[in-house]
Amino acid sequence: MDGELKVYLVTPFIIAVLLGAGAVFFDAYIPYFAVLWAVAGAVIGLMFYNKLKQISTRNREIEIELKELQQQSQVNSRVEDQHRQVWEQIVPVWQRHLISSRDLSEGAINELSARFSHLVTLIVDTRNVALAHQQTDNGEGFAHDKKMLTTFFNRLKDYDAATDKLFDKIESLQGFTNDLDQMALAVANIAEQTNMLALNAAIEAARAGDAGRGFAVVAQEVRELSSQSGGTGEQIAHKVSEVKAVMGNILESANKARDQEDETLDQGESYINEVIEHLENLARELITEGESLLQVNQQIQQQIEQVLVELQFQDRVSQILSQVLTSMDSLSVQLRQASEDHSMTIDVNGVLAQMKTNYTTVEEHRQHNPKDTQVDNESAAGGSINFF
Amino acid sequence: MGNIVAGQPGSVESEETLQYLTFTVLGELMAIGILDVKEIIEVGSMTRIPMTLDCIRGVINLRGNVVPVIDLRSRLADQPSVLSKRSCIVLVQVKVEEEYQTMGMLVDMVNEILEIPETDLQKAPDFGTDIDNEFIDKMARYHDEFIILLNIARVFSIDDLSATKVQQHLALDNLS
């Protein structure tokens, strides 16, 4: 508007000067110049008039605008008040909720971590116990068992050898019974011969007549003795034959028993070997199963340890929440100051910058400005962040 | 010793109890007077004499003397004896041609010496025994059984025994 006014003022002046100068230099044409000057003056006066009219309408418009603005500023101040109230009343509630949720999740996750670490110790203990068992049981126990069984079996074999000796002795007894038989036969023979001798003696005694009577008695006695010894010989022979029969039975059953024993021992040996082999196979299977279980156990332990590591997200979450809380605090303070002192403006960029300086995690940087990929790259270049 | 004649045991001391040697042949209990018996011996090695009768078992060597042995079973029942452990040879004194000769008698078994009173002796029955009546001298009752008392002289009859098989055959031929 000022520029325009200047144009309006300068242009008639220049025209007046030019016309004055023309009138001076060209005296002959003064009337023309005077006419021109008057025309120009009229045109300029018209222009001025128009311009003034324009200015007055513009002033009116500005006044209307001003009124509108005033109204709007009143509305704005109401909204601002509402915002302030929101900040002052709702935000603290949010903050409290955030704090409580942070505390809750922290407590729960700490609890979870404690449980998981307890699980890990349990797993480690179990594995150590299993390993200890495996080391002690690994084949050694079976070798011991086998040794014991073999010892027992060898004792059985010794017993078998002893019974074999017994049987041999019984067999040698049979030879003795044969001798006894011979002896009984000899006794019978002697008795027979004695009998005959006694008879002959009796005959001689009879021939001797009265003189031989005493001798006849002796001969009779001898004969009786011989018959007794003959009876005894028969008894001996009878008993010997009985003993022989019994001995034969004993030998037969002993031989049977020996054969059975040998067979049983052979079978027992094979059975024991089979059983030991079976048990060893079982033990081997158990050991391999145990080893695979231990591997699974270790994997579970690793998984749980990983879970424990991942449970440390709580730290990050709580840091992020703390950051948000502090930002909210500082923003609240600034808002309060701003509401008290209207000249003060809220420095949003400043607040953002301050937030950024307080960031400790990659996520905070990333979430602060999702479109800014540079942050990602920087933090990625910065290497991995170690949690503990 | 010489005063006793075989086959007549009771002739000298009659009405007395005499001793008899009992033996078994063919399951029959037989006896001879003990004074006729010289000795009892076991059956040893015996030498068969060729061409003699079946009842002459053979000869034995008795302390250097040759003694013929009669198989009593064969003599009495014409059955050759089967030797057993109990078989014995009873040596008897037989008077042959006024001379005592020792002869052997093969028996199945010698039993014992019995004392039999004279009153228990009876005459042999005419029939009813397993053996030829002529060989029986008497029958003796002892407890509830009878004992055949052999007629030794008849058993060892030289006339019978001295015949050879050839003569026997000839005699048989003549008869037929």
Same domain, yes or no, for A145 and A292? yes
Of B28, B8, B26, B27, nearest in space to B18 by CA: B8
CA distance linking residue B143 with residue B114, whole number of Å: 11
Do A234 and A348 belong together in one domain? no
CB pairs under 8 A between A and B: 33
- Of the candidates A193, A199, A207, the beta carbon closest to that of B110 is on A199
- Measure CB to CB from residue A200 to each of B19, B35, B39 and give the nearest one: B39
A52 and A72 share a domain?
Answer: yes
Asked, for residue A120, whether it belongs to a domain, the answer is no
Report the first-to-last Cα separation within chain B, whole angstroms.
Answer: 46
pLDDT band at B23 (very low <50, low <70, confident <90, very high): very high
The answer to whether residues B12 and B104 touch, using CB atoms and an 8 Å cutoff, is: no
**A169 and A280 within one domain:** yes
Residues A303 and A350 in one domain: no
Residue A232, token pair as written in the block = 């005894």
Read off the CATH number of the domain in which A261 is found: 1.10.287.950
Gap between the Cα atoms of A64 and B37, Å rounded: 198
Do both A190 and A220 map to the same domain?
Answer: yes
Place of tokens 């594995």: A127
Q: Among A258, A285, A308, identify where a domain stops.
A: A308
d(CA B42, CA B88): 5
Q: Which domain holds residue A11?
A: 1-106
Whether the CB of B62 is below 8 Å from some CB of chain A: the reply is: no
Q: Do A196 and B113 touch (CB under 8 A)?
A: no
First-to-last alpha carbon distance for chain A, in angstroms, is 70
Residues of A in CB contact (< 8 Å) with B are 192-193, 196, 199-200, 202-203, 206-207, 223
| CATH superfamily membership of B17-175 | CheA-289, Domain 4 (2.40.50.180)
Is the distance from CB of B127 to CB of B110 less than 8 angstroms? no
What's the average pLDDT block by block, 10 residues per block, for chain A (388 residues)? 70 81 80 83 87 92 94 89 79 85 88 89 85 67 79 86 85 83 87 89 88 88 89 88 86 86 86 86 88 88 87 82 83 79 75 80 78 53 49
Look at residues B143, B113, B31 and name the one whose alpha carbon lies nearest to residue A216.
Answer: B113
In a domain, A124, yes or no: no
Kindly state whether residue A228 falls inside one of the protein's structural domains: yes
pLDDT(B69) > 90: yes
Tell me, yes or no, whether A317 lies in a domain: yes
Q: Does the residue A131 lie in any domain?
A: no
Residues in chain A with CB shorter than 8 Å from the CB of B110 are 196, 199
Cβ of B40 within 8 Å of Cβ of A206? The answer is: no
**Long-range pairs for A204-211 at CB < 8 Å and ≥24 separation?**
A206/B19, A206/B34, A206/B35, A206/B113, A207/B1, A207/B34, A207/B35
Residues of B in contact with A196 (CB under 8 A): 40-42, 88, 110
Residues A11 and A64 in one domain: yes
> What residues of B are in contact with residue A211 (Cβ under 8 Å)?
none
Contact A196 B37 (CB under 8 A): no
Q: What is the CA radius of gyration of chain B?
A: 16
Within-domain flag for A123: no
Q: Same structural domain for residues A146 and A208?
A: yes
- Residues near B123 by beta carbon (within 8 Å), at least 6 away in sequence: B138, B139
| Whether residue A281 sits in one domain with residue A160 | yes
In this predicted structure, what is the pLDDT of residue B15?
Answer: 59
What residues does A186 pair with on adjacent strands? Answer: none
ipTM surpassing 0.90: no
What predicted TM-score, i.e. pTM, was given to this entire model?
0.51
Task: Say how many domains are in chain A.
Answer: 3
Whole-angstrom distance, CA of residue A44 vs CA of residue A51: 10
Per-residue pLDDT tens for B105-142? 999 999 888 888 888 888 877 776 667 778 888 889 88
Indicate the helix (H) or strand (E) that contains B142: strand B136-142
Considering the domain architecture, whether residues A64 and A165 belong to the same structural domain is answered as: no
The amino acid occupying position A343 is S
Interface probe, candidates B37, B38, B92, B100, chain A, greatest A C-beta count within 10 A? B37
Residue A264 and residue A353 in one domain: no
In a domain, A235, yes or no: yes
Please report, to the nearest 10 degrees, the dihedral formed by the alpha carbons of residues A185, A191, A196, A201 taken in order.
150
Q: CA A62, CA B159: separation in Å to the nearest integer? A: 209
B37 touches chain A (CB under 8 A): yes
- Mark residue B97 as left, alpha or beta (left: phi above 0; alpha: psi -120 to 50; beta: remaining): left
Tell me, yes or no, whether A262 and A142 share the same domain: yes
